Amino acid sequence: MSGNRVRDRLGQRQQLGANVLVQVTGDDLVGQRRSLRSLGVGTVTAAAEAFTAVAAITETTLTTLTATEATFTTETALTTLTATETALTTVAALTTVTTAETALGTVTTAETALGTVTTAEATLTTVAALTTVTTAEATLTTVTTAETALGTVTATEAALGTVTATEAALTTVTTAETALGTVTTAEATLTTVAALTTVTTAEATLTTVAALTTVTTAEA
């Protein structure tokens, strides 16, 4: 470039004067007169840089550790799994509920508070151990015929009297009694018998009375 050539010539101590026309042999460099021009001095306003005042940030005082940290426990080595986990079962898709649930009723009255138990319950009695039955129970006989329905008792039975003396052993009846005859006519109402007088003195032996003679003829 021409500029570079000019610099080379200046390096060879060829001085180019200012404001003159200079022609260098073998070069196309033509220097033209440069007129000195006075530039108008303008007022330059210094642009103030906007900045925000930032308060100095003070680091919080670090807490001094008075005790050294405990020695870390070495973690046990992880066990290597040699078998892969079984494949997870795919969960069926959830069914979409199209009908909304009915709203729960609002309870407006609070439940009554439970009473506080001030007295402790009595200690429970330990139940004695059950006796082990070593002999199996006899097999129950299967009833193949259903029992007839029981008749309903509509009238209440009179209170039973208490038996204070033990009855003598019953005699086994080997011969069946004849069937009782059916009473078709109700008996008349029984007359109440007056209470018997208790005899405190034993009677003497009774004398047998001879049979009375039957009178067939009426007295005159």
| Contact (CB, 8 A) for 5 and 29 | yes
Calculate the alpha carbon distances from 95 to 91, 100, 103, 111, 121 in Å: 12, 13, 21, 37, 51
6: left (phi over 0), alpha (psi -120 to 50) or beta: alpha
The backbone torsions φ and ψ at residue 159, rounded to the nearest 5 degrees and listed phi first, read -65, 135
- Point out which residues pair with 30 in neighbouring strands: 23
Q: Distances from the Cα of 45 to the Cαs of 42, 48, 128, 131, in angstroms? A: 10, 9, 112, 117
State how far Cα 130 lies from the chain centre.
34
Tell me the CA distances in angstroms from 79 to 53, 72, 75, 209, one per residue in order. 59, 21, 12, 126
The answer to whether residue 17 scores a pLDDT higher than 60 is no
The structure's pTM equals 0.12
Domain ranges of the chain: 1-34
Structure tokens at 34: 């440069």
- Work out the pLDDT band at 40, boundaries 50, 70, 90: low
Specify the pLDDT at position 9. 55
Over the stretch 107-142, which tens digit does the pLDDT of each residue have?
A: 888 888 888 877 777 777 788 888 888 888 888 778
For residue 156, pLDDT beyond 60: yes
CB under 8 Å to 31, separation ≥6 — which residues? 16, 20, 21, 22
